[in-house]
Amino acid sequence: MSAAYGEIEDLRQLDMNMDGTIDLAELQRIKYGGVKVGLGARILELLSTHPNMLKRVERLSKFT
């Protein structure tokens, strides 16, 4: 599985109504409920120069 495919799969868990976008209601849920990042993704994040995609979206949700 490629890294991009893994990130798409991660982002799918944020898109609750499965419409292909993360809308304001979903961002609010992320803002107050947080995200769940798996063990493998956390380990890869330690070796990466960027935070995990889910964590990036979570941080951006704080601006809504």
Amino acid at the residue 59: R
Place of tokens 């898109």: 15
Average pLDDT per consecutive 10 residues, the chain (64 residues; last block may be shorter):
75 88 91 87 86 89 87
**CA–CA dist 41, 28 (Å, integer):** 23
pLDDT computed for residue 45 by the predictor: 85
Q: What is the extent of the structural domain holding 22?
A: 3-61
> Residues with Cβ < 8 Å from 13, sequence gap 6 or more?
35, 36, 54
* pTM of the full structure: 0.73
The count of structural domains within the chain is 1
pLDDT computed for residue 13 by the predictor: 85
pLDDT computed for residue 19 by the predictor: 92
